[in-house]
Amino acid sequence: MPDLEVTDVDRAGASGSSAEPGGPRRGVVSRRGLLDPQIMRVAAVEAVRKLDPRVQVKNPVMFVVLIGSVITLVEAIADPSAFSWAVTVWLVLTVLFANFAEAVAEGRGKAQADTLRRMRTETHARRLRSEGREERVAASELSLGDVVVCEAGDVIPSDGEVIEGAASVDESAITGESAPVIRESGGDRSAVTGGTRVLSDQIIVRITAEPGKTFVDRMINLVEGAKRRKTPNEVALTILLAALTIIFVPAVVTLQPFSMFAGDRVSVIVLIALLVCLIPTTIGALLSAIGIAGMDRLVQRNVLAMSGRAVEAAGDVQTLLLDKTGTITMGNRMASEFHPVSGCDEQELANAAQLSSLADETPEGRSIVVLAKQRYGLRGGDLEREHEFIPFSATTRMSGVDTDGRQIRKGAADAVKRWVSELGGSSPADLDPIVERVARAGATPLVVADGSRVLGVIELKDVVKPGIVERFAELRAIGIRTVMVTGDNPLTAAAIAQEAGVDDYLAEATPEAKLALIKAEQEGGKLVAMTGDGTNDAPALAQADVGVAMNTGTTAAKEAGNMVDLDSSPTKLIDIVEIGKQLLITRGALTTFSVANDVAKYFAIIPALFAGTYSQLDALDIMHLHSPQSAVLSAVIFNALVIVALIPLALRGVRFRPTSATAVLRRNVLIYGVGGLIVPFVFIKLIDLILTALGAF
């Protein structure tokens, strides 16, 4: 896995803002070279250490190869020959190469973990005692429930939640995002992470993690694989590989009685070479590296998976729950049109809308001012000196300005209509049709009134992100159903859903509605993925098969999910699903290749075993290898070298293309199945020619 240097990555910032697809961001993870020299040196040492039988027994296939190499070593010592020693050396190398593949994958994680450890320094905390007095203690002495004070310049000593105050916090040490974020008590942005730095103001934090169990500690354990357990699919595949190995052992052993019956005797070394070449050593050697590399690719996207099971589940997800705002749309509603009612022209409406928005610092308010300026050259100087801005209120659901005897308001249609009615006015007959038309188009209507007179409607549109329609089409092609989740009314939700190309939508979504939707999908046998950041999202995150919590969210959300997105980008969920599918495709492709290339080894060794006994087997010698010893050794050498050749593919992963499961299966069979049949024939013959040219056998 990569270390924590700053680099350009395609993701959104830790502050929760979302980036355009393909837009670069500064991030926590840099991609070290796939085969970094420093990692290679460390992995070479680890490969030797992993020869310990207590380590090898966890991989049944390679454990059999190790036992076989020990037996051939004994045979080579008892009856030394160039052939016996060559086979022994290459069998040992086969085990070392398998260990090396796993060590390289682990080494990338350990390099990142070492960087995290260097980043984590011993800090001191200002702990508040029950009587209100402060005491200075080491961060390691803090325990769950302690309350500490942090002010500008302080490093937050441990994970916690802000219970009083608000402050700007630099989280670049964790997320790599240089822009500071606001952390405040209450709401969904109260969680703080140990190791981050307070830039302004003062906050009081309640510690929510025991020493050694902080977020950074979990990051270290996860990225270096120290706590990694085999996933259910890995366990199942390991059992299958062990079963195949068990089947081949008696099959190979029984060849000796056949040869003795025919008046010949096959050497133990040749039988072991045959066994090693027939059992699925390739996938057995690379299986662990594939799983570790899958989590590595998530870390490269600034996502921490709490278990390998979550990564695999992402690859099998069939339903995606996606927030509308920031995921499907740009996130900020922008003024796009002025719709005057009868008796009012567009410029009059634009002027009133601009005056009512001059003090509105929201993106919507600023966009109204910009649109009025672009359309009619209206500027803030048009406002009279005597004025009073009326801020938006959740009670009135309006904002505006009082100036020169005029009361200009903009807000929700029903709120403005009620206000106009209270002033003795009435709504024009064409107002409701305009409001409904704007809402049906997926936009938000804001009604503008000047006193008792309604002027018209401002259309605020949440723009669908470029390229999102194509991405949803790709997901649909691989059998994934997309559901947009939004708090908008059903009319607006339906319009956005149609424009974005999602399969379904959940309007006016509540935490209970999200949870009910997830359960309904799961009862239908589907795996569900979703994102969330608030405490009210925790039940749904816990219920989902893949729950991605935003790093900017609450502690409850991060504890409920099985992944944490350090960038807090809601679009990351799509990337996570693609990485999960890439992991499964890579494992399937290399398993297909491993099983297929055993056929060529069979054609190389079987004729060599019985060429002198059963002449009929000469028909199987389609490669016309130089001699029986050369044939056996060529197969053993290829069996070892193919592991090394496939390490980059195991670490990088098979390229993911959005397509159907049938198409993926067809591609795997054609490329890795047929390729697995042809490639060994070519290279075993090539190795045989090299050995012959060297005069080895």
By annotation, the residues acting in catalysis are: 323
The sign of the torsion formed by the CA atoms of 600, 604, 609, 615 equals: positive
- List residues bridging with 696 in a β-sheet: none
For the annotated binding site, the residues are: 360, 364, 392-399, 410, 533, 537
Q: Say how far apart CA 102 and CA 289 lie, in whole Å.
A: 5
Amino acid at 384: E
Assign 29 to helix, strand or coil.
coil
Whether the CB-CB separation of 3 and 27 falls below 8 Å is answered with no
In angstroms, how far is CA 499 from the centroid of its own chain? 26
> What secondary structure, in 3-state letters, does 50-68 show?
CCCHHHHCCCHHHHHHHHH
Indicate the pairing of strand 453-461 with strand 444-450. Answer: antiparallel
Alpha helices in 358-462 (DSSP H): 363-376, 413-422, 431-440
For the annotated binding site for Mg(2+), the residues are: 533, 537
What separation, in Å, do the N-terminal and C-terminal C-alpha atoms of the chain show?
43
> What secondary structure, in 3-state letters, does 504-538 show?
EEECCCCHHHHHHHHHHHHHCCCCEEEEECCHHHH
Whether the CB-CB separation of 637 and 94 falls below 8 Å is answered with no
Whether the CB-CB separation of 176 and 119 falls below 8 Å is answered with no
Whether the CB-CB separation of 453 and 416 falls below 8 Å is answered with no
Whether the CB-CB separation of 396 and 411 falls below 8 Å is answered with yes
Can you point out the beta strands (E) in 37-129?
A: 124-128
Joined tokens for residue 406: 């005029």
Whether the CB-CB separation of 564 and 335 falls below 8 Å is answered with no
Q: What are the respective helix, strand and coil percentages of the chain, to the nearest 5?
A: 50, 15, 30
Q: What is the CA radius of gyration of the chain?
A: 33
Q: Which helix (H) or strand (E) holds 274?
A: helix 268-278
The sign of the torsion formed by the CA atoms of 189, 191, 193, 199 equals: positive
